[in-house]
Amino acid sequence: MKGAREFASLFETGQYGKLYLVSGEHARGKTFRIQVLPKGEEAIPNGSNNLCLNKNAVTVYGEIGGHSGWTEYYGWLHNGPWENDLVELVSEVRIRNESKVLERLKRLASEEETEANRVAELLKAY
């Protein structure tokens, strides 16, 4: 759903510092919600698609309009410093993902070079 797909694709449900991120999906698309936890409090999970059970947690990102389950769209329910924390988390995940892609490409290039050398040596020795 609009405003949820990118974040839900980057994060698994869980606690990230003082934020509890909930990535989910339903028949029409991805869902994503964020709760702020009190300082030092550990999240009490409530399943992968559910908000945590902490009574003092506040939902700061979630559905802001549309028809729930059909055309809902997501955004900030409350603005604050947690927005910058999410930007930092997104940057960290993207950098980590890009590093994994680069490592994979290097490994594939090395494997291709090794195979080309093997073929060349075999044919040279004929």
User: Where do the domains of the chain lie?
Assistant: 5-124
- What b/e string do you get for 60-82 counting C-beta neighbours within 10 Å, with b at 16 or more? bbbbeeeeeeeebebeeeeeeeb
Distance from C-alpha of 92 to C-alpha of 95, rounded to nearest angstrom: 5
Start-to-end CA span in the chain (Å): 60
Confidence at residue 104, expressed as pLDDT on a 0 to 100 scale: 87
pLDDT digits (tens, 9 = 90+) for 38-55: 999 999 998 777 899 999
Residue 2, pLDDT > 80, answer no
Whole-number percent of the chain with pLDDT over 70: 98
- Chain-centroid distance, C-alpha 96: 11
Residue 33, pLDDT > 90, answer yes
**pTM of the predicted model, to two decimals?**
0.75
Residue 114, pLDDT > 90, answer yes
Residue 37, pLDDT > 90, answer yes
